[in-house]
Chain A
Amino acid sequence: MRILVGDMTDPVSNPVKPHPAARIKLARDQASHVVVAIGGAWRLDADLPDLDRIDAELFAEPGPASIAFETSDLVAWDSGLVSYLASLAWRCRERGIEVKEEGLPDGIQALLRLASSVPERRAEGRDEHADPFLRRFGLDFIDLARSTGEILAFIGEVTLALRAMLSGRARFRRSELWLLVEEVGADALPIISLISFLVGLILGYIGDQQLAQFGARIFVADLVGLAIVIQMGALITAIVLAGRTGAAFAAQLGTMQVNEEIDALRTLGISPVEFLVLPRLIALVAMTPLLAIYANLMGILGGAFAGTVVGGLSPTEYFTQTVAAIGWNHITQGLISATVFGAIVAVSGCLRGMQSGRSAAAVGEATTSAVVTAIVFIVIASAGLTIVFDAIGLS
């Protein structure tokens, strides 16, 4: 390989002396011929002249027919000079100006030849110009419509896979399902404990302060119990799972997309939806209600802590009141919500993972998008479910 750095001074014997600054000068010896004189040290780490500055002078009408170089003052050079000359030569060629490279050091000539030897070629039909605002807006809108379609198509595929599973034809590994159940369920217990206990505590504390004003302190048990069991327990669980598990699903499937692992499944005739999405969906749908029950208990415990320590109720009193306040209909509401939320988290995580592009950045986007999608749909579903429960008389 050729040396990339030419240095006409010896840096070892002369280490301290600073290099002279890079210079470039144009001289028109005849109207149609320009000599470009290059001097000083042209290094990437030095202050290099700006190509645009000599542009105007060089191409001033009438433009030259040819340019040549003069480099007797050149002290040192590296890619800084070569890239400068390469773009200069490129601009000249665009204007049909002949570039005479003979005056340049041999190394630079060779590198310039190398840089221009591989013809530039790109895939046809790829345009990269910036779109005007309205066009972008329109494209975004089309994207939105398409993504809705994709979500529906994905749900359709998942439904077909579910049907295949019910008839015992779905292909996935049971061992993987157990691993997922553990990952989704057991491993989430600590964080769910912490958050639901604290939410119960906060609800209890604020409730106690307000209810104390009209001497109804005991009703803090009703307030905490109902809020947690009907809504908060399921919601806390779902949001923790969206951040913890939904994101993980998207990242896993996205990475598999990058590594062509999903292609490898497809070409084997194994449906990635059956093999990858189904076990994740089942694991989440099975575990979310269980985790929600656990979150309910921890939340009530948090409320009891506030009620007894701050509110001065006795533990027996508090629990009797809680048990009296909560009916089966409330518990059912919470569990149905939790199941729906679990499905939402699983589907958003897997959908975004399967849609992921084939790069590290795309996997990151897929992960973020999985969490956002899940939370948006959880909130929408929770509002919708409240209406449904009301309509069927469950509340």
Chain B
Amino acid sequence: MSSQAAENRTDPMSADRPTKPPSAALQSEPQSEPISKPTSKPTSKQADPHILLDAVSVGYGETVIQRDLSFGVRRGDVFVIMGGSGSGKSTLMRSLIGLLAPQAGRILFDGESFWGAPEQARTRRMRRNGVMYQSGALWSSMTLEENVALPLEQYTNLRRGQIHEVAVYKLALVGLAAYCDYYPSEISGGMRKRVGVARAMALDPDILFFDEPSAGLDPLSARLLDDLILELRESLGTTMVVVTHDLASIFAIADDSVFLDAATRTMLTTGNPRDLREHCEIKLVRDFLSRGGE
């Protein structure tokens, strides 16, 4: 299993991926100054992984939920964390986004230890990640526009008018520009999720984390969200880590994946889900990816 993971780390598969300039999406916004986005150097870093997990165990208190996770996420990939309900996908994501210290092992971003670093360095790192939460997690005392604008207010030198424009543009990307002045309690669950995506994208992050983006969305919106994820990856070169068990979405977006198993409390395999469906030697993974029937 670990040999498989090691293989993936050095896999040069993504070398031929087109890498457009990182601020392409913002260029459609003529007035906005370039946001202080730490630009990635795609060519030199293509080979080494953007995120690397080394024998990581996650869990709550004494309870281990997943142990011995070792895999890499390549820069610019859409990486899917899959597994049954309760297998620990959200838990693993909490460790990746800096909310829950792993019980063992190391998590490296760009080769730098994330949890081993002092808190300030970790905070800086976290700022470069965007997170969409399973429940949306919008700030309920702020309107949708204010939700998207807050990261911009805090971390850019944009003027008020420019922030407004960027925020409305981000909301437009998820089809909600008309709802700028609504409060989170006044919109539906699916809409809240989309706003969550818009807010996660606000600062054009290096890495976007999604927890169950398509759960609770109608098939068309789910499809649109998948397209949006791919579009962002193409235009901004953002690395995407997506927790999901929606098969349609997995096959539509994933370049690479890891499968977490609840029974053995560890990862069973990594790889492209399409390949895994056809060739994985573990029946559980094949069954999962084909809904139990061939």
Q: Which residues of A contact B (CB under 8 A)?
A: 121, 123-126, 171, 173, 176, 252, 255-256, 259-261, 263-270
- Which of A252, A259, A270 is B137 in contact with, Cβ under 8 Å? A259
Contact with A along B213-232 (1 / 0, CB 8 A): 00000000000000000000
Chain B 121-152, CB within 8 Å of chain A: the 1/0 string?
00110110101011111111100000000110
CA distance A121 to B129 in the complex (A): 34
Interface-side segment among B60-68, B104-112, B240-248: B60-68
Residue of A nearest to B139 (CB): A261
Collect the chain B residues with CB atoms within 8 Å of residue A255's CB: 140
- Give which listed residue, A171, A173, A260, A270, contacts B135 with CB less than 8 A: A260
Set of chain B residues within 8 Å of A173, measured between Cβ atoms:
150, 153
20 contacts between A and B (CB under 8 A): A121-B263, A123-B65, A124-B63, A124-B265, A125-B63, A173-B153, A256-B140, A259-B135, A259-B138, A260-B134, A260-B135, A264-B131, A264-B137, A266-B98, A267-B97, A267-B99, A268-B150, A268-B154, A269-B124, A269-B126
Q: In the complex, A252→B199 CA distance in Å?
A: 21
Q: Are A264 and B133 in contact (CB under 8 A)?
A: yes
Choose among B99, B199, B262 the residue with the greatest number of A CB atoms under 10 Å from its CB. Answer: B99
Chain B: interface residue count, which band? 20 to 34
Residues of chain A with a CB closer than 8 A to B150's CB: 173, 268
Whether A123 contacts B63 by the Cβ 8 Å rule is: yes
Contact call A269/B123, Cβ cutoff below 8 A: yes
Q: Which residues of A contact B262 (CB under 8 A)?
A: 121
Secondary structure class of chain A's binding surface, majority of residues: loop
Chain A's closest residue to B120 (CB) is A269
B residues neighboring A (CB under 8 Å): 61-65, 94, 97-99, 123-124, 126-127, 129, 131, 133-141, 150-151, 153-155, 199, 262-263, 265
| A125 with B151: CB separation less than 8 A | no
Do A260 and B133 have beta carbons less than 8 Å apart? Answer: yes
Q: Which 7 A-B pairs have the closest CB atoms?
A: A269-B127, A260-B137, A264-B137, A125-B63, A269-B123, A267-B131, A125-B62
B154 A267 Cβ-Cβ under 8 A: no
A250 to chain B, nearest CB (A): 15
Known: A123-B63, A171-B154, A264-B139. 19 other contacts (CB 8 A): A123-B65, A126-B63, A173-B150, A256-B140, A259-B136, A259-B137, A259-B140, A260-B137, A261-B137, A261-B138, A261-B140, A263-B99, A264-B131, A265-B139, A268-B127, A268-B150, A269-B123, A269-B124, A269-B126
Chain B residue, CB-CB nearest to A271: B123
CA A255 – CA B135 in complex, angstroms? Answer: 13
Measured between beta carbons, the chain A residues less than 8 angstroms from B153 are 173
Task: Looking at the assembled complex, report how far the CB atom of B150 sits from the nearest CB atom of chain A, in whole angstroms.
Answer: 8
| Cross-chain contact A267 with B139 (CB below 8 angstroms) | no
**CA separation between A268 and B199, bound complex, in Å?**
10
- Complex Cα gap A267–B124 (Å): 10
In the docked arrangement, what's the CA distance between A126 and B138, Å? 32
Q: Which residue of A lies closest to B60 (CB)?
A: A123
Once bound together, how far apart are the Cα atoms of A259 and B65, in whole Å?
22
Shortest distance from the beta carbon of B155 to any chain A beta carbon, whole Å: 8
B154: chain A residues within 8 A (beta carbon): 171, 268, 270
Q: How far is the CB of B53 from chain A (nearest CB, A)?
A: 18
Nearest CB of chain B from residue A224's CB, rounded to whole Å = 41
CB distance from B128 to the nearest CB of A (A): 9
Chain A residue nearest to B146 in the complex (CB): A173
Q: Which residues of A contact B129 (CB under 8 A)?
A: 267
* B-side contacts of A265, CB under 8 Å: 139
- With A and B bound together, what is the CA distance between A348 and B262 in angstroms? 40
Q: Inside 8 A of A123's CB, which chain B residues have their CB? A: 63, 65
B133: A residues at CB distance < 8 A: 260, 263-264
Q: Bound complex: CA of A288 vs CA of B136, how far in Å?
A: 36
User: What is the minimal beta-carbon distance from B152 to any residue of chain A, in angstroms?
Assistant: 11
CA distance A173 to B147 in the complex (A): 12
Complex contacts, A259 vs chain B, CB 8 Å = 135-138, 140
A121 proximity list for chain B (CB < 8 A) = 262-263
Report if A125-B64 is in contact (Cβ < 8 Å); known contacts: A260-B137, A263-B137.
yes
**Across-interface contacts of B126 in A (CB, < 8 A):** 266-269
A126 and B60 CA atoms in complex are apart in Å by 10
CA distance A87 to B265 in the complex (A): 29
Q: Which residues of B have CB within 8 Å of A267?
A: 97-99, 126, 129, 131
Choice from B64, B140, B151 contacting A124 with Cβ under 8 Å: B64
> Which residues of the partner chain B approach A176 to less than 8 Å between Cβ atoms?
141
A176 and B262 alpha carbons, distance in the complex (Å): 44
Q: How far is the CA of A44 from the CA of B4 in the complex (A)?
A: 54
A365 to B262, CA, bound (A): 33
A123→B59 CA distance, assembly (Å): 10
Give bound CA distance, A261 to B142, whole Å: 11
A252 CA / B139 CA spacing, docked (Å): 11
